Structure 1
Amino acid sequence: MKKRIIKLEELQLPRIFENVAGNSKIYDSSSSPAARVYFIDKDQGYFLKRAAKGSLEKEVALTRYFSSKGLAQQVLDYVSDEQDWLLTAKVEGEDASSKKYLDNPKKLCQTLAENMRQLHALEVDEHLVGNRTQEYLKAVEKGYQAGNFDSHYLFSHQKKMDTKATYQQVQEYSPYLEANTLIHGDFYLPNIILNNWQFQAMIDWDSAGLGDKHIDLFWAVWSLAYNLQTNRYRDYFLDCYGRENINLELLEAIAYFEVFG
């Protein structure tokens, strides 16, 4: 996690958070343009997330739910004013993209696959977590209509495809996406917190719900290749998860959807 120290005045905090953030070092650790994430270096540590008004409501509800299951960090406070603010407790450990874990890629693959299998085996009520596949397809359509196209997510053999051809693949594979598995929806290394290889929590639950497991598998494979700067551990990770439970064609097809996200 990259961190840049900032001044308290830059945040324009709601008054309720001033006691937490006051007299402490604050770092911007954001990784997405959709939201800002700040680390408050005080007590055991806090993370404060800021986003557009109403945009964190689902994440707050899901984080509270999964915290009760031992899968997420604790929600300390949530304010929806001119903007949304979410305060969570720091979880002990480091995210899975830390050097200590990247230096042992096979053990990292084993750890991620085990945690993913456990997540995918959980039974939850759709009314509690929502139908992620429906939301996912709506977001892809919205991205396509807005002209989004990020070929960065395509696999090497897909790179020559243009917007039209990629969208045709989205239409072809959409009927095959299921909504029968609890997924995180953004299962990439910085969202997985480990402490000496022991699972601690997953963060950023806004894309979770009952969806298709191949979305999580795609993000794990993509993130491993990105952080390790090699694709050589893809097959090993899939073997650790259980290749017999994976539709490899559908896994690669998820890339077509993600370019419009």
Structure 2
Amino acid sequence: MRKTLITYDTSQLPISLQSYMNDAPIYDSSSSENARTLFIDGAPSLFLKISAKGTLEREYRMTEFLHAHQMAPRVIKYISDDTHDYLLTAAVQGADGVDRHHINDPEQLAAAFGRHLRRLHELPLTGCPYPGRSAEIRQEAIDSGIPASLLEEPNYVPIDNVIIHGDYCLPNVIMENYHLRGFIDSGYGGIGDRNYDIYWGLWTLKYNLDTEQYHDIFMEAYGKDDVNMDGVHYFSQLVDWTE
């Protein structure tokens, strides 16, 4: 996780957030053009995500849901003002999946990555704030311009029966010596089809490790019998059109 020490004018934040800064060193830890993420190196350490108004509510609600199952950081505060959303969370001990301590052993990383996804998909559905994710993902693809006829995969119909992360990539899994400490950036999650997360897991392993040779380790650790490659292909089509 990239962290760059910066000088930050905390007076531009809502007053209720300023007290959490406590003159602590502040680092820019952003990984997206759509949001700014600040690491506050205080006691305790915190992360503050800042994005356009209305864009962080889903992440706030999914983070709270996953935290209740000890799989996400604790939400300290969520605020939405006239222009921005602010999501303040406790920092999770550990490092993400692309940290050198993890990525230097790609076989162990791929196996852990599969096991952690399986744990997520075995969570109970009760209380999840966002059901019906496959229909939402499909609609997003249609809204982006894909003809609906191209989404009629003859061999696959999505089944929403697990909690999905929605952006299951190595940077969004915090581990300590490959042991799960929490999922972050879960704003695309909800009750969805497991093969959507499988698709992203395969994608990130290829992208971050620059090879497909660890795909089988990932799927074996997850449970290969429960992976439907027709479903993975179905969701790859949707992603191709929405990216």
TM-score, length-scaled by structure 2: 0.91
- Structure 1 moving runs of 4+ over 4 Å: none
Between 132-141 and 5-14, report the one with greater CA deviation: 5-14
Question: What percentage of residue pairs aligned between the two structures are identical?
Answer: 33
For 2:239 and 2:165, the matched residues in 1 are separated by 15
Between 49-58 and 84-93, report the one with greater CA deviation: 49-58
Query: How many pairs does the alignment contain?
Result: 241
Partner of 1:205, secondary structure, is coil
Equivalent position of 1:33 in the other structure: 33
What one-letter code is carried by the residue in structure 1 that aligns with 2:87?
L
1:184 aligns with 2:165: yes
Flag the structure with higher helix content: 1
1:235 aligns with 2:236: no
For 2:223 and 2:47, the matched residues in 1 are separated by 34
Partner of 1:51, secondary structure, is strand
Alpha-carbon offset, residue 14 of structure 1: 1.2
Equivalent position of 1:214 in the other structure: 195
TM-score, length-scaled by structure 1: 0.85
Change (3 A) 1:11 1:186: farther
For 1:106 and 1:67, the matched residues in 2 are separated by 28
What one-letter code is carried by the residue in structure 1 that aligns with 2:129?
L
Could you list the runs of 5+ residues in structure 2 that have no partner in the other structure? Answer: none
Alpha-carbon offset, residue 22 of structure 1: 4.3
- The Cα RMSD (Å) is 2.1
What one-letter code is carried by the residue in structure 1 that aligns with 2:28?
D
For 2:235 and 2:99, the matched residues in 1 are separated by 26
Alpha-carbon offset, residue 210 of structure 1: 1.1
Change (3 A) 1:10 1:227: farther
Alpha-carbon offset, residue 10 of structure 1: 7.8
For 2:96 and 2:52, the matched residues in 1 are separated by 25
Q: 1:76-155 counterparts in 2 under 5 A?
A: 76-82=76-82, 83-125=84-126, 128-144=129-145
1:107-145 Cα deviation digits (max 9, x unpaired): 111111111112112221376332211221122222227
Change (3 A) 1:127 1:238: closer
Change (3 A) 1:26 1:168: farther
Change (3 A) 1:70 1:252: same
For 1:113 and 1:181, the matched residues in 2 are separated by 15
Partner of 2:163, secondary structure, is strand
